[in-house]
Amino acid sequence: MVGRIMSRARNLWIMIISMLVFLAVIILVWVLTSQSKTEIPKKGVFVYADIKTGVSPQ
């Protein structure tokens, strides 16, 4: 009788810990995928700069 109760309690704790780990993984994936990606403001626009002076020609 006591062994059966201990087995159920152990299985319950294993289930609770497994669910917490599963939720932590889901939250981690959600946080990592929801971070805003840095975008290039003007795609395809290139600025020519002189290598020696670092000034772009006007």
Phi-psi domain of 29 (left: phi exceeds 0; alpha: psi -120 through 50; beta: other)? alpha
Q: For residue range 2-28, list pLDDT tens digits in order.
A: 677 778 888 899 999 999 999 999 999
Instruction: Inform me whether the pLDDT recorded for 58 exceeds 60.
Output: no
For the chain, counts of helices (H) and of strands (E):
1, 0
Instruction: Inform me whether the pLDDT recorded for 35 exceeds 90.
Output: no
Instruction: End-to-end CA distance of the chain: give it in Å, rounded.
Output: 89
Whether the pTM exceeds 0.75: the reply is no
Supply the pLDDT for residue 46.
63
- DSSP secondary structure code for residue 52 in this structure: T
The first and second tokens of residue 1, run together, are 């009788």
Domain regions of the chain by residue span: 1-58
